[in-house]
Amino acid sequence: MRTIIVGCGRVGAELAARLAGAGHEVTVLDLQTEAFSRLPETFSGQAVRGDGTDEDVLRRAGAEGADNFLALTEGDNRNVLAAQMAAENLGIPNVVAKINDPVRAAAYSSLGIATICRTMMMVDAMAGYLGSPTGRAQAGVNPPTGHHPGGDHSSPTPAVSESDGQSGSALIAAPAAAGSGTSARGEG
């Protein structure tokens, strides 16, 4: 299983280490060399300095033919560009973009890329912790519902495993029912 991770922040580094530990062949990219200091010394994957939204850089890093592609930089739009490049031009079947803006996250999952929205995950987790009925144990994950070649619904996050085997529509419907998801759609 080959996995490319763009962005070696806290999430990227932690995930890279965990997946490498689980036997994935991991390549992690970041613009800053210092970012790689977040990786543990035992990290067995590759760390490549470069712009993960540049197709030439991704190809040189060996992204073509990978199984998974996770765009986890700080910029929503950079993640959108990298993810679509991975799916369309590099033919990677399972592509996920971190998009913190809930409106954009919902919009892009309907355009066919899986999106993870940290904002909604945290809001739901907090509300859930406080006992609010709008809180949800698992949220913010929008599997693709569109036409994308990357529309493989086996999600890389264990959180959604309870719905595995279903079509993506149940999952995408769930965040929309969670209050802010609905209003986000209304605004969009």
Partner 1 sequence: MYVIIVGGGKVGYYLTKELLAAGHELVLMEKDARRAHQIADEVGSIVLNRDGCEGKHLEEAGAKRAAIVAAVTGDDEDNLVVCQMAKHHFDVPKTIARVNNPRNEELFRHLGVDEIISPTRMALAAIEQDIPVHELLHLAQLQGGDLELIEAQIGADSPAIGRRPADITLPDGCSLFVLIRGDQAQTIKPDTIFQADDKVLAISRSECEVELHRQLIGEEAVGAEAS
> Which residues lie near partner 1 (CB under 8 A)?
53-56, 75-78, 80-81, 84-85, 88-89, 101, 103-104, 107-108, 110-111, 187-188
Nearer to partner 1 among residue 38 and residue 98 (C-beta): 98
Nearer to partner 1 among residue 76 and residue 124 (C-beta): 76
E-state strands within the chain: 2-6, 25-30, 46-49, 68-71, 94-98, 114-116, 141-142
Nearer to partner 1 among residue 18 and residue 60 (C-beta): 60
Rounded least distance, CB 43 to partner 1, Å: 28
Rounded least distance, CB 90 to partner 1, Å: 10
Which strands, in side-by-side order, build the sheet including 141-142?
A: 46-49, 25-30, 2-6, 68-71, 94-98, 114-116, 141-142
Nearer to partner 1 among residue 53 and residue 138 (C-beta): 53
Q: Are the C-beta atoms of residues 101 and 36 closer than 8 Å to each other? A: no
Rounded least distance, CB 60 to partner 1, Å: 13
Nearest to 59 by CA among 94, 32, 91: 91
DSSP 112: T
Rounded least distance, CB 151 to partner 1, Å: 15
